[in-house]
Amino acid sequence: MFHQVRLLPEDKPLLRFLWRNLDREKQPDIYEWQVLPFGTTCSPCCATYALQRHVFDHSQPGDQVRDSIERSFYVDNCLQSLSSLDEAKLLVDSLRDLLATGGFELRQWASNIPEVICHLPKEARSESSELWLNQTGEDPQEFALGLRWLCNSDTLKYKCRLLDCPKPTMRNIYKVVASQYDPLGFIVPYTTRAKILIQHLWAKHREWDDPVLPEDLLRTWHSWQGELQHLSQINLTRCYASPKMDVPDCTRQIHVFCDASEKAYGSVAYLRTENPEGGAEVSFLSARSRVAPKRQLSMPRLELCAALTGAQLASLVNRELTLDICSCFLWTDSTTVLTWLQSDSCRFKVFVGTRVSEIQELTSDYTWRYVDSTNNPADDITRGKTLVELATDNRWRQGPTFLWQPQDHWPITPGQGNIDSCELRKSICCNHVSVAEDHSFPDPNQYNSFKDLIEAAVLLRHGVAGKQGNPTADDYKLAETDLLRKSQQDSFPEDFDCLAIGRPVQSSSRLITLAPEYDPVFQLIRVGGRLRRSELLDPDTIHPVVLDPAHKVTQLLIQDMDNQLCHPGSERVFAELRRQFWILRGRAAVKKQQHSCFDCQKWRAKPVVPLMADLPQARLQLFKPAFFSTGMDCFGPFTVKVGRRNEKRWGILFKCLTTRAIHIDLLHSLDTDSFLMALRRFISRRGKPSELLSDQGTNFKGGDRELQEAFKALNPLLQAQLAKEQIQFKFNPPSSPHFGGAWEREIRSIKSALYATLQSQSMTEEVLRTVLIEVEGILNSKPLGYASTDVADPNPVTPNLLLMGRLDPSLPQAVYHESELLSRRRWRHTQVLADHFWRQFIKYYLPNLQTRSKWQKDTDNLQPGMIVMILDPQIPRAVWPVGQIINVFPGADGRIRTAEVKIKDKVYTRPVARLIKLPSIHNTDKAEKSPST
């Protein structure tokens, strides 16, 4: 079957091997499998998939052939039972025809009825079936998944595998036990004895090949091993029922019995077939066993483990059998387990609860019943049996006698037993207390200021009392006292009750360090403190009212004091509150309130700059020519003499963002024409850059617009030729000099050199141009990276090394002989210098750019809808505009560094470093007033 499945082309190189036919002198040949080989782990799975895929592609759902392939094939073996001769012959022919179309030829056919396969060719039948058909008188045997199938008698037998293991070591004992193949579990009472023996051998640490074993365990092992010769005497009928019981009118039931002991536990399943007259037959289905864990468990827990194996076995048998099962019964001799299974699993501890829950889930449609130990066949698993006993007709083979009788003769389940309290969970009391709202006080959460809350409390108190006229000052004082009292009752209920009846607060109270006292006049908790002997201080200062910072009344009180003092610092507000109130963690509470106050943040907040971004691509154009990515900016003005009058001139800086090289030129004015001519001079001397970066200067924006218009006006053919060479302009957001820090720092160096050289004197344009070019040479001679004091270290590279082929203009150039002027030596020298620059640049300078000198912490991104204030150092802070973010521009790392802010009817683009986030505006008055600020 494997060789009928061809490998995919991409899988063939994985199955190569070497072969030289035992000739050591010959170079081995390399062979490659074209089909699935035997021995690889994936071959059975791939072959099964190919077989099923072929059948699925050439059959319909519900076809008998498809069902046979899905349920009756194990790799390349097919085992199936059918109810009639004609149906069996039709299935054989259908399978052969369908699989033959895919190259799968079915052979070794065998059947307990010769007529089913007699029409097949000789090469398609098995050898034993051929002898049977030739009437040799022998009972042909076929191996079916490890068992022997006697076709004539239609029985199953075990194959005895006697291994030559002279010394009983742990390795040899495992080898003998594992060689006993028992797919049905019929000899489980025999093999469980060996498993218990192995568990006893592991009670003491032993080596796998240690021949020294305890004498009593060796005698037990030799006795068990000596019984293997009787294994061939065990036989089982293949059919679950006799022909007279295999009729459609008969009903079938599954019965699973469970039992446990201190050494092992297990379960066994039987099929009970009953005809309409009341006659019944019982046949063995399957069994399984487990050795009890080394950790001692109580018998009820072991019985529960046995019940779990029985539930799993019942689910497996019911799923695999193709017969119609009308009902399923599970039997146990433990009344405790039956009581557990009738209870909720959540009542028990983890061990019992999880197993009860799984059993209830597996056997929700089954019936649990009680059976006494004398009628429980699973008791043979825990007690053990010899192979000679298993070969005879007994309870293990035929099931308990009561299953052969009508249902009214079955054991009766006793009354429900008591649940052992040690297996129950500790009960936890969970109470829900509902407190009715006190409508005599206004809800502080519905008010935005302390004055509004007091006003509402006064009106509510005044109306309840039935008073006429306007509220008095006493009414406002009493309303404030009531609110403070209600706040203390909400925040310190236990402390309030203790102090009200004259008892001290508990040692775990938050107020223990304040020596709290109860004020019987105002019914408030006050600080006892240590200042009571002072005669100059006000009584409210000596004994301030204690408040909780988390209560809404306290928050409104802090907000009101902050507004009264016109939003000073936190210490000022805190000191003023301390005159009357002692707020727990008051300083932190004041800072928290001011952090959410719109006016406080408007006067004191600072921009929150996100984490410094990674270097852009323009800074990492390695192995590109100088000025490939260029930043530019203007500086000045400078006064020059033209005849007898003075005129202004400006400088323009072009800086290579990768190599740090600079180019300086002079502008006659800051208009677009002057910039375009400077750009043309720059391109002629330094080459055309791929991109130009600058700030939002009007001359640069005009130059970009004019270049774009000129480019569009070109002839279409010429435009197509220059399309790939167009210079790309990129502008930084307005008011963001830190976006162009690479060239802004160079302008600072230029100004320092110029002011040190020229100071305030005026000069001619020629002198200014000369000085600027000399400053350009000085700055291009700056070393990139660390300059070592060790004479053995190489000199750091400079931008001039790439521009001029030497570190600075003072060094002489290399002199070439006249005969070598046309050779490749000059080109090679230039290439060596460039390679040296980039090697030193990458090794010594580029790693220094890894660190972030500032903006090292990550912050929350600004989002659309937030209220911000635009920082403008040119005007006073009081008139800085306030607006709302309508759009954000995330960077390559997802962080927001630029946003659009709408102020009235205008939209401004600003960097995050120029935006101050403000708290949301709560009341309408501030919302209407803030945009016009």
Q: What is the pLDDT of residues 133-155, one digit of tens each?
A: 555 556 677 777 778 888 878 88
Continuous segment of H or E residues that includes residue 438: none
**Is a pLDDT exceeding 90 seen at residue 55?**
no
**Is a pLDDT exceeding 50 seen at residue 718?**
no
Which pLDDT value is given to residue 129?
65
DSSP string, 194-224: HHHHHHHHTTS---TT-----HHHHHHHHHH
Which pLDDT value is given to residue 433?
64
pLDDT tens per residue across span 805-853: 666 565 444 444 444 434 445 445 556 656 666 666 666 666 766 677 7
pLDDT tens per residue across span 264-280: 999 999 999 998 888 89
pLDDT tens per residue across span 333-353: 999 999 989 888 888 888 999
Model-wide pTM > 0.85: no
In the block, tokens 């129950």 appear at: 424
Name which residue leads in pLDDT, 317 or 63: 317
Between the ranges 110-119, 566-575, 738-747, where is the mean pLDDT highest? 566-575
Of the given ranges (78-82, 219-223, 583-587, 699-703), which has the lowest mean pLDDT? 699-703
Report the b/e string of 303-312 with b at 16+ CB within 10 A: bbbbbbbbbb
Give the residue-averaged pLDDT of 536-563.
88
Give the residue-averaged pLDDT of 360-378.
91
Which pLDDT value is given to residue 706?
52
Which pLDDT value is given to residue 788?
65
Distance CA 163, CA 161 (A): 6
Which pLDDT value is given to residue 633?
84
Same fold: 239-409 with 623-786+796-848 = yes
**Is a pLDDT exceeding 70 seen at residue 226?**
yes
Structure tokens at 188: 């489980």
Of the given ranges (349-363, 472-486, 751-765, 818-832), which has the lowest mean pLDDT? 818-832
Of the given ranges (408-422, 552-566, 581-595, 892-906), which has the lowest mean pLDDT? 408-422
Structure tokens at 645: 């009058």
Which pLDDT value is given to residue 763?
79
Which pLDDT value is given to residue 25?
86
Nearest to 586 by CA among 547, 552, 559: 547
> 545 vs 492, 518, 585, 724, 856, CA distance in Å?
13, 10, 14, 78, 44
**Is a pLDDT exceeding 60 seen at residue 870?**
yes
**Is a pLDDT exceeding 80 seen at residue 479?**
yes
Give the residue-averaged pLDDT of 457-470.
68
Which pLDDT value is given to residue 317?
92
Please, what is the average pLDDT of the chain?
A: 81
**Is a pLDDT exceeding 90 seen at residue 71?**
no
**Is a pLDDT exceeding 90 seen at residue 329?**
yes
Share of the chain above pLDDT 90, in %: 16
Structure tokens at 90: 């039709």
Structural domain 239-409, CATH architecture: 2-Layer Sandwich (3.30)
Which pLDDT value is given to residue 617?
75
Which pLDDT value is given to residue 926?
40
Distance CA 551, CA 352 (A): 47
Which pLDDT value is given to residue 385?
92
Question: Position 234: which residue type?
Answer: I
pLDDT-derived band at 396, boundaries 50, 70, 90 = very high
Name which residue leads in pLDDT, 361 or 76: 361
Which pLDDT value is given to residue 929?
39
Helix, strand, coil percent content, the chain, rounded in steps of 5 = 40, 15, 40
Which pLDDT value is given to residue 190?
93
Which pLDDT value is given to residue 594?
85
Boundaries of every domain in the chain = 1-106, 239-409, 450-604, 623-786+796-848, 866-917
Respond yes or no on whether the N-terminal peptide bond of residue 637 is cis (omega within 30° of 0): yes
Which pLDDT value is given to residue 719?
39
Share of the chain above pLDDT 70, in %: 84
Which pLDDT value is given to residue 273?
93
Of the given ranges (126-140, 547-561, 752-766), which has the lowest mean pLDDT? 126-140
pLDDT tens per residue across span 108-134: 888 888 888 888 888 888 777 666 555
Select from 3.30.420.10, 3.40.640.10, 2.30.30.90, 2.60.40.10 the CATH code of 623-786+796-848.
3.30.420.10
Nearest to 263 by CA among 310, 214, 195, 205: 195
pLDDT tens per residue across span 78-104: 888 888 888 888 888 888 888 888 888
Name which residue leads in pLDDT, 225 or 701: 225
Contacts of 511 (CB under 8 A, 6+ apart): 492, 495, 505, 525, 546
Between the ranges 197-206, 221-230, 255-264, 641-650, where is the mean pLDDT highest? 255-264
Structure tokens at 688: 């055309």
Chain centre to alpha carbon of residue 469: 68
